[in-house]
Structure 1
Amino acid sequence: MRRRLIHSTLAVVLVVIAVFGVSLLVIEARSIEAGARERVQSEAARLVAVVESRLVAGEQVTARSMHNAVPSDRHVVIDLAGEAPFTMGDRPEGGVISATETGAHGEAVTVQQSAGAVSDGVLRMFLIILAVSLLAVAAAVLLAVRQANRLAAPLTDLAETAERLGSGDPRSGRRRYGVPELDRVADVLDTSAERIARMITAERRLAADASHQLRTPLTALSMRLEEIIGTASDREAVQEEATIALAQVERLTDVVQRLLTNSRDPRLDSAVSFDLDEILIQQMEEWRPAYRSAGRAIVHSGKPGLRAVGTPGAVTQVLATLVENALMHGDGTVALRTRTTGTQVVVEVADGGPGVPPELGSRVFERSVSGRNSTGLGLAVARDLAEADGGRLELLQQRPPVFALFLSRDTGAGSG
């Protein structure tokens, strides 16, 4: 990926340099040539004026008298009416730029300049453009390498983290990269690592409990079977021992069932009754500095003292996603409002921004769907967390946006 990013960046830079560099060189070459022609034309007009003024004054116009008026790097042909033309300066070789002007007394002045001067000017301009292009390529290489490392390194680290999680290693990197989308992925991987760690702990606890609690009934069952074998000739003894062994099997089944029941998904055991205001206050305190830096505010209103049933950590993560989404894509004051509806408590997150585009609607919760040039991962993960916690996340209003998190209400608590 790093190589592809560098190559693509360089390709874009080279195309831009080729298009604009060639265009600039053509324009400058024409400008240099046009400037040279204008200078020669102006020189011819000036010399005609000098010749005409001297003719009016009755002076003779000769190569000697015009020596000081003609530049040394020009080839000039002066043709007076009724006289043989005379030349001044060396005749240029190769291509020339020529201009002829005539006066009121029939005199004509032709000024010629070597086209090599234009070629030299174009060459100098080409060298300047080439030097600037090389500097641009060098800068593009440095920026491309830096950007590729900035993007590829976090992705490589996240891939290693995901591979580590897939192999059963729940260690969490707790690294952040300064890219909101990548940091969001890192948050999800850290949460997954914690869940995997809890599951591994539960499995280890199950194995330890099983080895301890199953050993005794299995030992007792083995002893009963040995006694059955030893008393095979005594039918009553065999029947008695078999009855006892069957009871041992039933108790063993109960032990296995209890162990399996206790090893359920740890998320089911973490659902508790919690104070919703504590989480909202914690979120406001956590996000208030970021909103203050952006020149915005975050406020809390609604019904106080509500208690919900669920996982506080998951609810916190869902609300953090909504608040972060409002900071990145919304505008104005962000309002957190609490209310009740039936047996549920509702937390609404609203802002004064442009909201969700009409063509997206509820599809905003689908993975990789986004209308704001982002990854579209945050809301999808938040919805999954809400549903896994027994709640739901909905878009109540598109413009201005209003998102609502529905949670089970603790009916045993007061309404506050």
Structure 2
Amino acid sequence: MDHCAQPSLLPIEEALARICNQLNPVQGTETIDLHHALDRVLAFPISAPINVPAGDNSAMDGYAVRVQDCTETLTVIGQALAGHPFSEEIGAGQSVRIMTGALVPAGADTVVMQENVQRHGDQLTITHLPEAGENIRRAGEDITLGSEVIAAGQRLSALDIGLLASLGLAQATVVRRLRVAILTTGDELLPAGAAPEAGKIYDSNRPLLAALLTRLPVEVMDLGVITDNLTALRSAFITAMQWADVVISTGGVSVGDADYTKDVLAELGEIDFWKIAMKPGKPFAFGRLGQGWFFGLPGNPVSTAVTYHQLVVPGLRHLAGETISVQQTLTAIAGQPLKKQPGRTDFQRGVLSNNNGVNTVMSAGLQSSGVLSAMAQANCYIRLEAERGSVAAGESVCVIPFDEFIR
């Protein structure tokens, strides 16, 4: 049994459910230009104000005709170009030269591709008879007027923005950005760029979190490194809670003599839970802080990254009003033995590859929660169930590919 596994540890699935069940999505909205809307969460559903295409148009370069006339020699009476329609109606025995994307002239019901005709001057002979409606893209074939195009709660992708632009929309109403304050705790921490000192380490957690948070619709307040001092920590939390919807700290949620985070939270807020059956990341805290919320992440950098990705990201996306899909998982063959003790769900860092159609995963290296270099080389988690022990080479395992929220 994992020596860190205890009956009081909360399973990760229950921890995530408790987080999302308590976080009510923020209500504020703003209307913004589309070129600022990438990765913002849509506040209200959008219905199509027009048909796409707006009218019947040609899918080919060729000739617009009446299918009933196609056995005759036809007279070409004009041309239709994209953006420059032919304004008259086609009559019996007539055709119009038409280019891809041009509106089909009134009276025509078919477009014959240019490879299937012979033309001499204004006389046209069709060498391969078409079917009625051939090579015509119908009005509303892509998007029908009044249909829902994008649902509320969708995080807008570049393709979504292109889709909205194709409807003539220049703006979208989105959920306001979350306000997130971040801080790290510990007398041992140095900021990047400082001269090395004996007994000190560089703070990687705050730069890591600040970078990862740019993938979400948030504003960030960086409160820096807070020393292991109850007064300093209380002051930082008071500053954060006056502005932020969410405060994220790293370090200080373990059981050390100088870990004051739980004490300050007990004074200023309320802890829901602070230990989970997860590796890495057992000392993880969640609760209220004033009118907002608090996530306390472990101090080791890999534990910070994994708990942020698996617990904080879903919480923030839910709080931002996003409708979240189920996390993608794959089944892979372990390419080597993997060590594990039963007791906690383990998120080992791996390298996933596909060889001749078979998913294979290898360990990314040392699995210590302090070895960030191995996680930087990984492209997935190897998710080993709480009750599972060590894995032999060739066994099937569950793999979670890294997404944009951790890369």
Higher Rg: 1
Q: Which has the higher helix share?
A: 1
Between the two structures, name the one with larger relative contact order (CA 8 Å, sep ≥ 6): 2
Normalised by the size of structure 1, how large is the TM-score?
A: 0.26
Normalised by the size of structure 2, how large is the TM-score?
A: 0.26
